[in-house]
């Protein structure tokens, strides 16, 4: 697989301000996600994306310098959506739920996101080739780790902060790595990896963050 072209210094030519421009901008991203999902990143063209978005190629280039700029914009979009999803799953209301329930729900929620967002797997399959996408992915892991650390602090405030931070980082990295690994396998094995991800996280975290009724 070839790498995406280097990220330009200004990947977005124009950030949409008005409602009509934002709508066209989002239409282009949605069209690109569909095209990437159908034919892959390398085979996708800006012309095909513009046609799918029902806009002119000039309008596309008004927002994006090239195809790689669309790729990075999609990655940023997915990152924002995953942060919102994480905040929902690990809300303060979930602190008192059994840990196994919280972990299982979170893994299922993210798995559903990964499988239902057109182009997601294609976009992040390019991460290994692109320092820019690696930076986006690293930032996502960092921000999710911060939020998860806050959640764990509410659940077990007695745990030493440095230890809690390390446990959080290990958990996020393990989940992220297993998610990427599962995408490279067939469906039956992928589901087994998802199940083992839950078992791994629950088994690792339970001693540090026991359920309230077992303390």
- The position carrying tokens 């602190």 is 95
pLDDT of residue 54: 96
Report the distance separating Cα 177 and Cα 137, nearest Å.
11
Q: What is the pTM of this model?
A: 0.84
Q: Who's near 33: CB < 8 A, 6+ residues apart? A: 74, 117, 118, 119, 120, 123
Report the distance separating Cα 51 and Cα 47, nearest Å.
6
Whether 163 is covered by a domain: the verdict is yes
Same domain? For 114 and 205 the reply is: yes
Q: Compute and round to an integer the Cα radius of gyration of the chain.
A: 19
Q: What is the pLDDT of residues 59-74, one digit of tens each?
A: 999 999 999 999 999 9
Same domain? For 207 and 128 the reply is: yes
Report the distance separating Cα 170 and Cα 33, nearest Å.
31
Average pLDDT over residues 195-211: 96
pLDDT at 153 over 90: yes
**Which DSSP letter does residue 4 get?**
P
Same domain? For 96 and 156 the reply is: yes
pLDDT of residue 12: 52
pLDDT of residue 181: 84
Same domain? For 48 and 79 the reply is: no
Residue 51 phi/psi, 5° resolution?
Answer: -60, -45
Beta-bridged to residue 64, according to DSSP, are: 12
The domain of 24 spans 19-67
Same domain? For 118 and 165 the reply is: yes
Q: What is the pLDDT of residues 101-116, one digit of tens each?
A: 999 999 999 999 988 9
Q: What average pLDDT is seen over the chain?
A: 88
Q: What is the pLDDT of residues 35-90, one digit of tens each?
A: 999 999 999 999 999 999 999 999 999 999 999 999 999 999 999 999 999 999 99
């Amino acid at each position: 697989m070839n790498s995406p072209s280097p990220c330009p210094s200004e990947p977005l030519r124009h950030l949409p301000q008005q409602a009509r421009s934002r709508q066209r901008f989002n239409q282009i991203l949605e069209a690109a996600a569909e095209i990437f999902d159908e034919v892959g990143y390398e085979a996708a063209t800006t012309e095909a994306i513009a046609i799918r978005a029902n806009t002119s190629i000039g309008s596309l280039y008004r927002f994006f310098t090239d195809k790689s700029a669309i790729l990075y914009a999609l990655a940023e979009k997915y990152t924002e959506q995953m942060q919102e999803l994480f905040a929902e799953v690990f809300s303060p209301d979930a602190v008192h739920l059994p840990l196994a329930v919280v972990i299982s729900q979170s893994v299922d929620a993210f798995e559903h996101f990964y499988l239902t967002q057109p182009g997601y797997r294609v976009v992040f399959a390019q991460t290994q080739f692109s320092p820019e996408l690696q930076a986006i992915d690293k930032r996502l892991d960092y921000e999710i780790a911060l939020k998860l650390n806050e959640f764990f602090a509410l659940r077990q405030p007695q745990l030493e902060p440095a230890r809690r931070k390390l446990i959080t980082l290990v958990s996020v990295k393990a989940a992220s790595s297993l998610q990427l690994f599962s995408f490279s396998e067939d469906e039956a094995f992928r589901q087994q990896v998802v199940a083992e991800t839950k078992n791994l996280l629950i088994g690792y975290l339970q001693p540090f963050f026991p359920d309230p009724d077992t303390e």
